[in-house]
């Protein structure tokens, strides 16, 4: 598999060496493309939509150490680059393509799976303690386990120096929300539909009734055949279930529904569950996934909405910002609309937002602590 590859002296099972990248090993069936000019080399592993011409076009950025420019192509892939003196590796902005690393006397070994490094995963106890105390995650450069490259960061390895995390989350600002929404819509459509076409046009997909999975199903159905699956139990919303059924009917999507029980709740960790690739969301959701994904087993691709709300929904911090800028009436109008859509009283919510705006980030964290 393409995930079984590493560098720094630790070879992947059945791997072959990638030319020009100094000790990188990859599995025999990994999809990899590489370009090089003299000591400057670049490889992408996975599903990258960049052309060979575009790959060659960023070799000057590799030579100059402008690492963030290597992550701007559509797709989901690892990047490995070398300017002849130092190496750079990253797994993408979303954190789906993992990069684990282990410093040792001869340098730093890294891999796409911890088992290839032959070391256990060690929890980041200070981070976990801070999360419990403050109730929020404000440390994007750290993960719940040590020595894992977070999403949005890359790993820079130079001789005689400790491994360094490089922030690659540069986002191009837009002047207007409408402009940003249209641009995001095009990018999302291209990302989903490219994967459907690459999978042969027949894919599986989650359809929970929420915005994230709904968007993926609608876009996928426009270019292929979708088999959607929905999970429901005593804790899920009947309204969401009804909405999922309407979306399936509207798009002509084949639809299967699985009814779970308490045994399928997240973090149930049933006996016999595979381990070794944590921390991943799949480990916590294993019992539920096993229950409802059975109808789509064997399909080459499955689209999921896990985590999509973070991208497709707005954070309440936007209203705090409006209050801090003196745009009180606009903030109040949006908060009231938000609360009414959820059958929630706007008063207590509005009070909490005003307090957060007055205290600021530091004061809010101190109060929570």
The model's confidence at residue 15, banded by pLDDT at 50, 70 and 90, is very low
Name which residue leads in pLDDT, 328 or 368: 328
Give residue 250's pLDDT. 95
Question: Within 10 A of 214 (CB to CB), how many other CB atoms are there?
Answer: 24
Q: At 96, phi and psi to the nearest 5?
A: -80, -35
Instruction: Note the pTM of the prediction, 2 decimals.
Output: 0.68
Give the contacts of 285 (CB within 8 A, at least 6 positions apart): 266, 306
Name which residue leads in pLDDT, 128 or 1: 128
> CA-CA distance, 91 to 97, in Å (whole number)?
5
pLDDT digits (tens, 9 = 90+) for 178-187: 888 888 899 8
Strand, helix or coil for residue 110: strand
Q: Which of 112, 73, 116 is nearest to 95 (CA)?
A: 112
pLDDT digits (tens, 9 = 90+) for 287-298: 998 889 999 999
Least confident of 219-228, 234-243, 306-315: 306-315
Retrieve residue 328's tokens: 């009180």
Least confident of 14-23, 82-91, 129-138: 14-23
pLDDT digits (tens, 9 = 90+) for 148-166: 898 889 999 998 889 999 9
Q: Which of 75, 86, 149 is nearest to 112 (CA)?
A: 149
DSSP per-residue letters across 28-95: TT--EEEEEETTEEEEEEEEE---HHHHHHTHHHHHHT-GGGGG-SSEEEEEEEE-SS-EEEE--SSS
Give residue 6's pLDDT. 38
> CA-CA distance, 141 to 176, in Å (whole number)?
29
Retrieve residue 10's tokens: 């630790």
Question: Within 10 A of 300 (CB to CB), how many other CB atoms are there?
Answer: 13
Q: Can you list the domains of the chain with their CATH numbers?
A: 6-167 (3.60.20.10), 177-311 (3.40.50.620), 314-368 (no CATH)
Q: Is the pLDDT of residue 276 over 70?
A: no
Task: Give me the residues paired with residue 164 across strands.
Answer: 156
Q: What's the average model confidence in pLDDT over 171-192?
A: 82
Give residue 215's pLDDT. 92
> CA-CA distance, 363 to 145, in Å (whole number)?
28
CB 257 within 8 A of CB 209: no
Name which residue leads in pLDDT, 71 or 283: 71
DSSP per-residue letters across 126-184: HHHHHHHHHSS---TT--SBSSBPPTTEEEEE-TTS--EEEE-------SSHHHHHHHH
């Amino acid at each position: 598999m393409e995930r079984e590859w590493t560098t720094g002296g630790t070879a992947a099972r059945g791997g072959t060496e990638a030319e020009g990248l100094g000790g990188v090993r990859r599995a025999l069936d990994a999809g990899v493309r590489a370009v090089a000019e003299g000591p400057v080399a670049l490889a992408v592993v996975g599903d990258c939509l960049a052309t060979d011409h575009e790959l060659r076009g960023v070799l000057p950025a590799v030579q100059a150490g402008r690492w963030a420019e290597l992550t701007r192509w559509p797709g989901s892939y690892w990047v490995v680059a070398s300017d002849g003196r130092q190496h750079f590796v990253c797994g993408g902005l979303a954190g789906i393509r993992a990069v684990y690393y282990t410093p040792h006397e001869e340098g730093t070994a890294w891999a796409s799976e911890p088992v290839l490094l032959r070391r256990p995963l060690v929890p980041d106890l200070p981070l976990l303690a801070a999360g419990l105390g403050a109730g929020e995650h404000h440390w994007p450069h750290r993960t719940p386990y040590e020595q894992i490259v977070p999403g949005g960061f890359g790993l820079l390895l130079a001789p005689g120096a400790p491994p360094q995390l490089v922030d690659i989350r540069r986002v191009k600002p837009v002047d207007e929300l409408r402009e940003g929404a249209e641009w995001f819509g095009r990018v999302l459509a291209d990302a989903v539909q490219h994967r459907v076409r690459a999978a042969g046009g027949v894919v599986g997909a989650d359809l929970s009734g929420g915005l994230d999975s709904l968007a993926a199903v609608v876009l996928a159905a426009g270019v292929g055949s979708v088999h959607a699956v929905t999970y429901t139990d005593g804790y899920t919303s009947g309204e969401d279930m009804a909405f999922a059924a309407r979306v399936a009917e509207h798009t002509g999507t084949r639809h299967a529904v699985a009814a779970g029980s308490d045994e399928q709740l997240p973090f149930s960790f049933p006996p016999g569950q595979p381990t070794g690739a944590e921390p991943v969301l799949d480990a916590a959701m294993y019992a539920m996934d096993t229950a409802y994904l059975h109808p789509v087993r064997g399909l080459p691709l499955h689209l999921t909405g896990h985590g999509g709300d973070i991208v497709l929904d707005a954070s309440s911090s936007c209203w705090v910002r409006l209050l801090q800028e003196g745009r009180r009436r606009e903030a109040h109008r949006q908060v009231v609309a938000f609360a009414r859509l959820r059958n929630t009283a706007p008063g207590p919510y509005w009070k909490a937002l005003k307090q957060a705006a007055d205290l600021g980030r530091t004061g809010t964290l101190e109060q929570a602590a």
